[in-house]
Amino acid sequence: MKSFLGMCGVYRRFVADSAKIAKPLTALTSTKLPKRLPPPREEETKAFEDLRRRLLAALILALRGRDGHCIVDLDASYEQLCFCLQQQHPDGEYHPIGYYSSALLPAEKNYFSTEIEALGVAWAVSYLRSYLEGAEFLFRCAHRALLSVLTNMSPNARINRW
């Protein structure tokens, strides 16, 4: 299980909501569980098959170009943080560059919703720093209170609420 999840971790940027999908499988790697596991439950089998299917599907990500407006879409919940980087290409369409997700740590699950959204913004901007530095980009999130924080954080960022 750990080797399969490790391989999924390498390719998680190509799978939207990978942390959410892999959550039942990640729970199986806990040291609190017995060494000999019972047969997999339906949700674990479904998660495995879903990850396997998504990894075998044709990848639809585009390469990051030098020119073109970028959009970062953020979604945060009490379980995980997710964001997607998209870039406008010469055809005028926005194509995804990558999908990124991470489960929250136990301490982070105690944060208020505004703090979780802010954590997601900080993680996205620091993770994508090499892509976003010096470029104009649009950051979209569903939390209204963060608009003023984001506007002060990056002068190149334009902020929209979904």
97-119: pLDDT as tens digits: 888 888 899 999 999 888 888 89
Instruction: Give the DSSP letter string of the chain.
Output: -HHHHHHHHHTGGGSTTHHHHHHHHHHTT-TTS-SSPPSPPHHHHHHHHHHHHHHHSPP-PPPPPSSS-EEEEEEE-SSEEEEEEEEE-TTS-EEEEEEEEEEPPTTGGGS-HHHHHHHHHHHHHHHTHHHHTTS-EEEEES-TTHHHHHHHH-TTEEEEE-
Residue 107 confidence (pLDDT) = 92
Q: What is the mean pLDDT of residues 67-74?
A: 85
Q: Mean pLDDT score of the chain, rounded to an integer? A: 80
